[in-house]
Every structure is written in C-alpha cells, then in structure tokens.
Structure 1
C-alpha cells in the first residue's frame, strides 16, 4: 500500500487493443458456431433427412434416363417398349415434384433455425455488453458497438441460415452423383474430376484473402457507422453548425465511404477469375467426354452405351453446380469467420465489475445509508478498446487513445490517494474542490461504476464489492450535471426508474421535483416527446425530470453531481427546492452545489489532488482559512456572489483576505 507520493507507481493508463488484426482465436470458431445451432438440433435432424431424401431422389433420375434410352426407346429386341416408357416418364415427372416439396419444407426449417440462432447471438451480445464496466464504453466508440451488433451479426446471416444446409445438401448430392458416375463409368469419372485437387488448393488461397478483406471491410463499415453516429446525432449536428464544420464532416464521411467502396469491390472481385476457370472447365468437360467415349467405343468397350453416356453427362452437369456451390460456401465460411471473430471478441471480454459468489443483498429494511471511504487509493484502469475501434484521424497513427474521467489526477496517475471519510446515515455531505481534484471519481466508487485499487468503500459497514450489484444499484441514486433522457415521452422517462409505477406515483414525483406544472403546460402533457437526449427541453426541465426519476426510485443514498450548474436564477431556485425535497430523510453526497446547499450540509469535505485536505461545517472551514475558504473568496472576488462581510476571513498563513458579513438571501456560490 503506497502511503506517500514517492511510493506511488508512476504509470498512466493507455488503451489495450485486444486481438491483433490477423490473429486466430485460441478456441475453434467453427465449434462455437456449431454451439449456436445446438439448441435447434431436432430441427436440424429434420433438415438432414430432407436433404438426404432430395439428393437420393435427384440421383435416381439419371438412371431412369438411362433406362429410357437403353430399355424403352432402343431395347436390344428392336421395338420400343411403350408401357415401360410410360412408367419411366411418370417417374421422371414425380421425382422433381416430390423433391421440390421437400425443398420447400427444408427451406422453412433452415430459415427458422438460422434466424433463431442469429437472434440468440444478437441477444447474447447485447446482454453481455450490458455487463461491461463503464471504462469499456469510455474507450470504445458507440458507433463501433452498434456496428458489431447490427452489421457484423447481419453479415453472418447467410452462414447461420443457409450455409450449414447448403454444405450438407451439396455434399450429399456430390457424393451420390460421384457414386452413380463410378457405377456408370469409372474411367469417365476420373477424367471429370482430375483437376479437382488443383481447384481446391486455389480455392483455399482465395478464401484466406477474402477473409482478410472481409475483416477490413467490416472495420471500415464500423468506422462509417461511428462517423454517422457522431456527426448526425443532435449534439454532433449542433457542434458542426456552431463551428461551421459541416463540409469537413461531409468529406470525412465521403472518404470513409470511398474506402468502403474500394474494399467492397476488391472483395467482390476476389476469386472471380478462379470461378470463371472452374466453370469453363466444367463447360468443356462434356466435349472431352464425347471424345473419350468415342475412343473407348473404338477400343472395343462393350459397357459404354448411348444411354450410359447420356446418363453420365447428365450426372456430370448436375455435379457441376453442387461442386461450385461447395467452393463458394467454403469461401463464404472463411469470409464469415472474420465476422464471427469480431463478434466473439466482444463475447470473450470479461467484465471488470462482477458480483462475487455469495454476495450479500441489503434490503431496504436493513439499509441505513452510512457511507465510508477507508484508505481508498484509486487509479483508472487501462480502458479496453478492440481492433478497429479507434479513430486514427483524430488520435494519430498509433491508434492509441487515452480515456480518463476529468477528475483523474494527471501528475502521478492516481485519481484518489488514501481517502478516508465517513458520512452518517441521513447526513448531507458536500464535496468541494478544484476541477480535477477527484470529486466525481469518489462518487463513481460508491455505486461501483469502478472498483477501488486499494482500500474499501463501505455501505453500512459492508464493502460494496461484497454486496450484490442489484442491491447496490437499488440503494444508490444519482443526478448528474447533464442528465440523460432517451427519445420517448416524459412519462416513460420518469418511469424508467420504476417501470411498474402508477400514474399517481409518477405525478407525485414530478410535483416533488417542481416540474409537474410545467409538464401540464405542454400540449401533450406527460405524453410529450422529449426528443433525442431531451433536446426539446431546457436544461432546467431536463434536470428536474432527472430529479423526478430519482425520487420515483426512492434510493436510500443519493449522489448529486453539479446538478444546478449553468442554470439561470429562477430555474436554479426551482431545481434547488426539488433537491431539498430529494435529500430529505436520505444520505446525500453533493458535489459543487450552490452555497445555500453547501451551508446547510452536515459536513463538507475539501478535496485536492485526490486527497481529503479538510472537513467540517461551513463556518468551521471558513474560520480555518484553507481550501474551502480560498474557493469561497475566489468566487466572491469574481462577482458571482453578492454578500456583505463583517468578520475577517484569513488564510492559514494569517493574511487578511476580506471582511465577512453574510446576507443569506443573495449568498450563492458554486465550487
């Protein structure tokens, strides 16, 4: 445990890129893909039965064709056998009809299995991302996460819906056709398939290249999605208009679009020459077979009849398409493996904040709300970013982006240094200090947005790491400086904290937050749409809705992070009244509130450079002449407060700063 600045390791957090671009996963990807299909194995058995049945039926047709020529039309007896011909024609008509019906059933089963497996994968990925710690999302662009959920999962649709069935179907068809061809003429079979090993070797090389291109294409698409999310969000549009950067944003998107187009064309063209060669070979093969048949007949072969040759060329033609499809499917699988690796890369990330086995749940009846920091040292962890998630145009060629909370202490890499303090149940504790002192960092440790590096944060004597995540989330509510509202109604935004809340409960929370009358002033009342991130509302309205949401949640512990900053006087008064109701009968930690709140705090903690440098009441800290007094006077000197002073406020060195004579009606200051 470090106890002095000299003992602190001198390190800074950097982004860790997981998985190099061309690295293979340790765990076999194909096995994991098969695992996605495992819950639907009964349907897959039916698919296999349908595939085999259709392949056997289709393989019988050439033998019926042989019988038509050799036994019905041109029998050795000399006269056509019309009765036999009729039955053979019926068979040739029935076989494709039955095979088509089987194919319809097979396609329904395949589509059901594939889309269900894809929905499972998408759901599992979303659920896993919900468990990731806050630091992961500070290091990864939202657009990249959206791209993996949407584009990457959609990119493997074909593999999950069609590929497995296609492989089985074409393998069975090729096997059946190969056996039938050998039965008809093993010599012609060898001639037909003589170049297959060469084609397979070339196909493997083409597949590896397409796999690399697929990964680059998806990374490029992720970047486009990220640009779209950044530039076309309400905040992004507002920013570009304020600084007249619309043309630059358009060019940034167009360049990414051009890169995506180049990769798409390259991916589409890779292997085209190979498949053209294979198709040409199969197209030429019948002519070669006719020549070989002529040589065999000239050489005295008695087994090669006209019917045999017709049946063999029919099988050879039917063999061409399944073989080509197998090669294409193989390429598709190799291409999709790159996308599966990107998806599994997220699924393999272990959340940094987890619930330990045997974690204790604190129910409301047992919760008092005491908070204690016990010798807490905290250093922000190395944020985890995945390959292709960093915007190199904005962060340099290194591809490394440092992400950290603004309160992190920059000098030594430690955001908090040996912090020890206690807030009793029901107390209002204020935390003040300069920007970057570690105030927000402290509040992030209470609800376990991050875990301490050393020491412990306790609620009612329990280390928060020993409590269930659910009970901690229910115990701690937070109102931030910039509350988040989703695109929906005002009612839905308030009820987010308690989905089963009644209309009366929602309206009472709004009244307590001083927003009910304002809501009724909207044409649609509680059904008013807030807009993305609440941009249709003013800052004070959003803040009061956030307070209403917390009041509806009714947590035992409340954290207020600069909840009244940048508000006009009247709005600030309304928000302040709402906050006074919110802090009643619950433990509250307030950051940088106005002086009216600070003065009424039971205890004020002064934080500087990640350390608690003083604590006490408002009057005690002014008398001490330390950090709090210095911040107080700085705010007074800048004209942000109006006050009259009667007593001298002195710094710890004894120098007189000013006289103090308070008029509480106008004593407002923010820290």
Structure 2
C-alpha cells in the first residue's frame, strides 16, 4: 500500500516556501481501507502534552512579536528620521534588533522542543513496531514482501517525523502568521488591505499552479530514482552479483540501469526548468504586488493620508503573508498524507499475533528438564480455513523419549519441516498439542522455550558481524574460554584461530566469507553455547558435499550427545542410527520404527532407501 517513492513534502512552515502538495491517490486508498482515529493519534502525544502546549504558545508568541517589526520601521521612517529624533531612533532600532533576537531564540527553543517530542514519539513507534513484528509467526514473514517491514520502519516513520516536526508546526505557524499579518495590515491601512484582497489570492493561486507542475515531475523523478536504487541493490549485492554472473545477465542489467539513468536526465531537466519557472513566477509576483500597492498609494483616489513609513511597512507585511498563505493551501493534502502514514504504521501494530506468548507462563526448572517430546494428535495447516486435503500435519502422535533421536523422512512436502517447526513453536497447531516433559509449549515463556529447543537448519544464518558477536547471540555472558570450547567441539576452532582477527573476524553478509560447511560449524558452536535439552536438525547437511558432510557429522554427533533430537535429512545415511524413524506422507505418519525393522517390513521406507541408493550409484557412475 505504501508509496515510498513519494515521501512527505510538508507545506510552507514558518513562513518558508515549500512545494505545493496534491493528495496522492494511494494515500486516499490507504485511508479508505484503514481509517485512522484522531483519538489514537492524540494518545501518542499525551505523555508530551505540556511540551506540545509550550510549542503552540511559542509559535503564537513568535508570530505576534514578529509583527512589531513593520510598526517599528514606520516609526523610524515617519518620525525618527524626519525629525532627527535620536532617542526615538535608538529605541526603534533597538526594538527591531530585539524583535529579531527574541524571535530567533524562540524559534531555536521551538525547534528543540518539537524535535524532542517528534523523536520520542518516533522512538516509541519504532520500538513498538519492531517488537510487535518480532512476535509474528514465521508465516507472516513468508507472506510479506521482502523489504516491506524495513520500509515501514524507516520510510514511513521518517515521514511521520516530518509530519510532527515540520508539517504540524508549519500549519500552526502559517495560520498564526497569516492572522497576525492580516490584523497588522488592517491596522496600518484598511484601504490597502482591501486592495490586497483583490491582488494576493490570484497571485498565490498562480504560483501554486506552477508549483504543482513541478511537484508531479519531481514525483516521477523520485520514482525513477527508487528504481535506480533498487537496481543497484539487486545487482551489486553478493547474492545479486552472483546471480547475474551465473546467468550471464550482466549486459541486460547494465542496459536496464542505463535506460533508467537516461530517463532521469529528462526528468531532472524538466524538474529544474519547472523549478526555474516557479521561481520566476514568484519573483514576478513579489515585484508586481508591491508595485501595485505603490501605484495605489500614489493615486489621489486611493492614497488618502498615506505616509511613506506606512507604505513601506505595509508592503513588507504583504510580502510576508504570501508564503504562509501558500502553505495553508496545502493543509488538506498534508492531512491526508499524514493520516495515511499513521494508518500504515497502525496497520502493523494491529496485526494479530498468531503465536502469542502465554499471559501466565509456567515456570521451568531447566536443570531438571529431561527433554521428553510428545506430539499428541497434532494437526496443522499453513493456510487459514484449511481442509483435510491442505493439512501440512494431519493428526500426528509421536513420543520421543528423553535423550533419543527421532528421524523424519519422506518426500518433499510430506510435512517434515512443519512438524519440526511446531516443536520450535514457529507455529501453533490447529488441534492437539506438543509437549516437553508434559509441559504444553503454548504455556512456556518464549525465552524459556528458546533455551530448551535449539535449531540447526540447512541455511545457517550468520549476522553481518564478527564471529564473536554471532556466538554471543546464544549466550551473551559466555567467556572467551567457553567460546573456544564451543568452536573446538564444532570442529571449527583451528579455522578461526588461523584468521588474522580470530574471533573478531567479520563473517560478511549472511556469512558469505565462509563456505557452507564452515558456516554450519559456526552455527553448531553457537547452538552448543545455548546448550539446549532438545535439538532440531533440519536438513543440516543436505547442501554439503559428501566429504564436507562427513567432516561436519563429527560436530553434529557431539552436538546430539545426550540430547533429545528431531532430525530431518534427505540423505538416509545420516538417520540410520536413530532410535525411531517416522515416515511421513501428506502430513501423516505412515510408518514408524527403527532402520532394521522398517527395512525388513519392505514398505515405504524400504522403497525410499532403495530409490536413493540407486540414485547415489548412478551419480557416482556419472
């Protein structure tokens, strides 16, 4: 729903120019789909109510104080200079300096307070969204577009910060400036104020029309820039560069990049010309409006008792009302944009937590855990409203005694990983339950469960940091000796010791600095530091060659020692020694036993073994 290439552009705040703004259809659609309650927005600022009140007072005070400038100027021109009144001249000039100094100091305080409130509100939203999204199930991340969550946390919240620190204060400042300036203009000359009512509105609307043209061109330019950035990210990351090289698509990627860059040439030219036309239009208006006022002041019918000081003070005020009026014209678009940003963020905060932590978790004595795992009539589907034909796990009951190994085998899509995910509580079953030592996983605190169940998967994920940092994710309090002991047990200590930076070696994006087997060993060392009672090995060696797998198996055997283990593997050689082997088909357990017994039965398992042994012999012969 988000239009990240069209960021919030606040209107003319504090008398500044700013770009004219039209309502984005995507923002309208967002609000139509997910309306935002102003009461909910106001709740974000409730802890900062006093500060907000002070900011509003400062805005009003700054606008009112600034209005003293033209009256002091009139006093200098009409009274002090013609009559050589030095005392009045000193007072007036001193007052002008005082007005400027006080206005600027109040502006600094206002900016400090506004930014403080904005940053604190944004900090609260950022952390709330981050924590809430972390609580989502794996299903949420599989169905959410890559990068969308990051965009919500960065682009949308950054845009909301602009709403708070620029747009909201800009509207208040523009409104008070326009009102105060209008009052001051009437006080100086009611006749010239009536003339301004005829001259200023058309001038403002004409300038706004030119600004809208530039706004549309700028939007297109921003979108093409977003395309350019996306192509850079896709083509110049490790994964993207590897894909392009292996597909021989370098020329096509370069051509696509060049085409986008060519489009930007035209859009940049049009943007600059439109901007120059806008500046030219504004300059013409800034020159024409005072000229008309001077003309009116010089005509006998409209001059009246006009003084030179009044005329100069009035034209100064008239010029200063031009920009805030343009800013006020943008209030509608700013409002829709602001509410659309809040709608997108609130949409994430309102996501239901599919795998929710218990309100009153059961206390766990980790030193007394045995690690017995039991699946009791478990049924699970990745799709809501599933039928029996779409169950990933269908009425499965299994008992894994403490310290033993259960191996899961079956064709792709048979439900092996789904069953393992239930044990790690990446999902919750629609019916039945999964227990460890009789404790339902849904009654355990997530922190306790992560200490009990450890996972080593096929795609060992390492964060882009040092080896030390990756290991300490499992146990932040681990000592240097404990880190090296875990690395030694995982058969990777010699490799790490040979690196120039040792434990402080940066692993690179997703651990690309190391081979698949090396990454797996580091991941195993990390799991060893966690010291879980229950272990899940999900295709931990399927992506490795035979030699690397044999070397890694030593580390895996050490990891499995004394732990209850649920293992998934395509290579049947890795599961022959399991106390139990469960054969799955379309989410159901169709065979259960040990390797000799299942082979003697001559059923599904025996056929799987025979088929894979034949494939292995054919691959070796080739």
Place the TM-score, normalised by the shorter chain, in its bin. 0.7 to 0.9
Contact 1:211/1:337, CA 8 A, preserved across alignment: no
Residue 84 in structure 1 maps to residue 62 in structure 2: no
Deviation at 1:55, TM superposition (A): 2.1
Deviates more, 1:146-155 or 1:537-546: 146-155
Q: Please state whether the residue corresponding to 1:563 is helix, strand or coil.
A: coil
Deviates more, 1:467-476 or 1:81-90: 81-90
Q: Which residue of 2 aligns with 1:126?
A: 130
Residue 163 in structure 1 maps to residue 167 in structure 2: yes
Q: Which residue of 2 aligns with 1:524?
A: 501
Q: Which residue of 1 aligns with 2:289?
A: 285
Contact 1:147/1:221, CA 8 A, preserved across alignment: no
For 1:257 and 1:32, the matched residues in 2 are separated by 43
Deviation at 1:270, TM superposition (A): 9.0
Choose which of 308, 313, 316 in structure 2 pairs with 1:314.
Answer: 316
Deviation at 1:497, TM superposition (A): 0.9
Deviation at 1:219, TM superposition (A): 7.6
Residues 500 and 369 of structure 1, relative CA distance in 2, 3 Å threshold: same
Deviates more, 1:553-562 or 1:171-180: 171-180
Residues 547 and 330 of structure 1, relative CA distance in 2, 3 Å threshold: same
Q: Please state whether the residue corresponding to 2:403 is helix, strand or coil.
A: coil
Q: Which residue of 2 aligns with 1:445?
A: 422
For 1:227 and 1:547, the matched residues in 2 are separated by 35
Choose which of 554, 559, 575 in structure 2 pairs with 1:598.
Answer: 575
Alignment of structure 1 residues 189-338 onto 2, 5 Å: 189-194=193-198, 227-253=231-257, 280-281=284-285, 283-294=287-298, 298=301, 301=304, 304-327=306-329, 334-335=336-337, 338=340
Contact 1:494/1:549, CA 8 A, preserved across alignment: yes
Deviation at 1:565, TM superposition (A): 2.2
For 2:267 and 2:40, the matched residues in 1 are separated by 28
Deviates more, 1:522-531 or 1:505-514: 522-531
1:524-582, CA deviations, whole angstroms, 9 ceiling, x for partnerless residues?
Answer: 33233322222222222111111111111011110001212243444323322222221
Residues 220 and 536 of structure 1, relative CA distance in 2, 3 Å threshold: same
1:69-98, CA deviations, whole angstroms, 9 ceiling, x for partnerless residues?
Answer: 444445xxxx55443333223322332233
Deviates more, 1:316-325 or 1:474-483: 316-325
Deviates more, 1:241-250 or 1:632-641: 632-641
Residue 556 in structure 1 maps to residue 540 in structure 2: no
Residues 128 and 277 of structure 1, relative CA distance in 2, 3 Å threshold: farther
Residues 493 and 299 of structure 1, relative CA distance in 2, 3 Å threshold: closer
Choose which of 456, 463, 466 in structure 2 pairs with 1:486.
Answer: 463
TM-score, with normalisation over the residues of structure 1?
A: 0.77
TM-score, with normalisation over the residues of structure 2?
A: 0.82
Choose which of 619, 622, 627 in structure 1 pairs with 2:596.
Answer: 619
For 2:136 and 2:267, the matched residues in 1 are separated by 32
Residues 80 and 516 of structure 1, relative CA distance in 2, 3 Å threshold: closer
For 2:435 and 2:129, the matched residues in 1 are separated by 32
Residue 135 in structure 1 maps to residue 139 in structure 2: yes
For 1:612 and 1:438, the matched residues in 2 are separated by 10
Residues 155 and 178 of structure 1, relative CA distance in 2, 3 Å threshold: same
Residue 63 in structure 1 maps to residue 71 in structure 2: yes
Choose which of 341, 356, 359 in structure 2 pairs with 1:357.
Answer: 359
Alignment of structure 1 residues 8-23 onto 2, 5 Å: 21=29, 23=31
Residue 428 in structure 1 maps to residue 428 in structure 2: no
- Structure 1, unmatched stretches of 5+, are 1-17, 384-407, 643-667
Q: Please state whether the residue corresponding to 2:377 is helix, strand or coil.
A: strand
Q: Please state whether the residue corresponding to 1:373 is helix, strand or coil.
A: strand
For 2:432 and 2:218, the matched residues in 1 are separated by 47
Q: Which residue of 2 aligns with 1:48?
A: 56
Deviation at 1:521, TM superposition (A): 3.0
Residue 96 in structure 1 maps to residue 100 in structure 2: yes
Deviation at 1:247, TM superposition (A): 2.6
1:474-533, CA deviations, whole angstroms, 9 ceiling, x for partnerless residues?
Answer: 221101112111222222222221111111111121122122233223333323332222
Deviation at 1:641, TM superposition (A): 11
For 1:619 and 1:19, the matched residues in 2 are separated by 64
Aligned positions, number: 595
For 1:290 and 1:319, the matched residues in 2 are separated by 17
For 1:298 and 1:570, the matched residues in 2 are separated by 103
Q: Which residue of 2 aligns with 1:386?
A: none
For 1:465 and 1:29, the matched residues in 2 are separated by 34
For 1:44 and 1:292, the matched residues in 2 are separated by 43
Deviation at 1:322, TM superposition (A): 2.9
Residues 211 and 89 of structure 1, relative CA distance in 2, 3 Å threshold: closer
Contact 1:210/1:335, CA 8 A, preserved across alignment: no
Contact 2:200/2:322, CA 8 A, preserved across alignment: no
Q: Please state whether the residue corresponding to 1:529 is helix, strand or coil.
A: coil
For 1:144 and 1:224, the matched residues in 2 are separated by 18
Deviates more, 1:374-383 or 1:19-28: 19-28
Deviation at 1:293, TM superposition (A): 3.9
Q: Which residue of 1 aligns with 2:448?
A: 471
1:310-365, CA deviations, whole angstroms, 9 ceiling, x for partnerless residues?
Answer: 33222212222332344467655655555554444433433322224334343414
Q: Which residue of 2 aligns with 1:387?
A: none
Residues 120 and 513 of structure 1, relative CA distance in 2, 3 Å threshold: same
Contact 1:457/1:463, CA 8 A, preserved across alignment: yes
Q: Which residue of 1 aligns with 2:390?
A: 413
Deviation at 1:378, TM superposition (A): 2.3
Choose which of 24, 33, 43 in structure 1 pairs with 2:32.
Answer: 24
Alignment of structure 1 residues 576-591 onto 2, 5 Å: 576-591=553-568
For 1:180 and 1:192, the matched residues in 2 are separated by 13
For 1:213 and 1:338, the matched residues in 2 are separated by 22
- Structure 2, unmatched stretches of 5+, are 1-25
Deviation at 1:637, TM superposition (A): 2.4
